[in-house]
Structure 1
Amino acid sequence: MSVDRVRNTRAMAESPRCGASTRGGLACRAPAVRGKLRCRMHGGALGSGAPWGNRNARKHGVFTRDRITEQRAIQELLEDAGKLLGELDSN
């Protein structure tokens, strides 16, 4: 016995859509999360997105100007020590 049921999808069809663009360059057709401009897959979900304060952009100092000059001075010192050891070894 089959019962035909009509699904009420009016609210889903009338809800605002996500404003993100897909990899193919088309607009995302998923509904936006309530109170947000994006769907759950494009940043509307709770806890999604980058952390506040952008901890990913912190400088670690490896490529600063002072660090580079320090590394060059250490390299020169090691080269000089290698030459001195080579001279002492040959004598």
Structure 2
Amino acid sequence: MSEGSARKFERRLSRKEAAQYLTRLGMTMSAQTLARLYSECKGPECGHIGRRAAYKPSDLMRYFREQTSAPNRSPREPRRPDFDDDLPEPAND
């Protein structure tokens, strides 16, 4: 593979590790909930290694940001995305 076509590898997380990752960010999540969301086509992107679910930390971070809204002063205000730059970028181990 040439240097220009080489892709950066991102470690994949198991469903349990992915749930722990989201929980550390403040979105309490269990592995069973991730499995249900996957079956309903509503959760973060998920690949597979063999039969096991495999999540990229960058996909989990994207999902977290999509689910997070900016602070509102009133429940009548429409929710808007919160682009909080203070969130850590996923580590590539």
Smaller-chain TM-score bracket? under 0.3
Q: Quick check: which has more Rg, 1 or 2?
A: 1
Say which structure is richer in strand. Answer: 2
TM-score (norm 2): 0.24
TM-score (norm 1): 0.24
Say which structure is richer in helix. Answer: 1
Query: Relative contact order, CA 8 A, sep 6+: which one is greater?
Result: 2
